[in-house]
Amino acid sequence: MDMCLGLILVDFSGLIPSSKQLDCPISPESTLQWLGLTDFGNPAIQDSMGILSLYVMNSNIWVPFCDTTKQVTNASDGFFITAVFESNQSVRGVRCKGSMYPGFIPRPTQSEIHLEAAFAEMDTEKAQLEANLFTWSSLNVENVERKYKENAMKLFSLACQNNLDLRAFELMTMLNNPVLVTLAMKYATNADKKRLAEKLLSLASTLRQSSAETPATNQNFVLDIHYLRMN
């Protein structure tokens, strides 16, 4: 029998508390294993299938960011989560042998595992770069501005090298970042991709015009967060 659970997230900041009702992302034929908050106060849930999902506030969806079953050797073993850190993109917990919960004797030893969104074909450079951009855009990871730019440009150049100019342009449109669009335009010009450079020039002009007409708000699209951090 599948579990169907819900929770209410209450925010007590300010004079008037606010609340939001959320459905829990439990895998089919699994049960709730762990429920908590990240270091930034965002809900996190682990089910008995070992899937750790985080609630991304900017997009109002649950995203699976970690499969803890990959950290154990036997099917009867478990990984008991003690903390989830968005800031350094990690999960801290205890590997449990023959159980889902740690014992008291001997004293449990904690270990850390990497927090990363699951993408198809993760053994390829393209998928790894895409996963990095998605994770850094969705979570509150610290000190990734430079790596974010580098990953975006690597993904753009990879598409150009494979003559996938449309994909390269769609990437810049999705990122919606004037700094990256300018860098991409220079790359396309040097690579003698005149048509792509013209389309990027038009995109850069549109972004400048939009920025001048629209006042800055705190409700930016999830992939625009890093543009604000960069500037």
**What secondary structure, in 3-state letters, does 66-77 show?**
EEHHHHCCCCCC
**How much is the pTM?**
0.77
pLDDT band at 86 (very low <50, low <70, confident <90, very high): very high
- DSSP letter at 161 equals H
Q: What pLDDT does 28 receive?
A: 85
* Distant-in-sequence, close-in-space partners of 13: CB < 8 Å, separation ≥ 6: none
pLDDT band at 1 (very low <50, low <70, confident <90, very high): low
Chain-wide mean pLDDT for the chain? Answer: 86
- What digits encode the pLDDT tens for the residues 101-149? 888 888 888 889 998 888 888 888 999 999 999 999 899 998 888 999 9
Q: Is residue 14 pLDDT above 70, yes or no?
A: yes
Q: What pLDDT does 77 receive?
A: 85
Q: Cα angle vertex 115, ends 6, 88, to 5°?
A: 110
Nearest-angstrom CA–CA distance, 115 and 113? 7
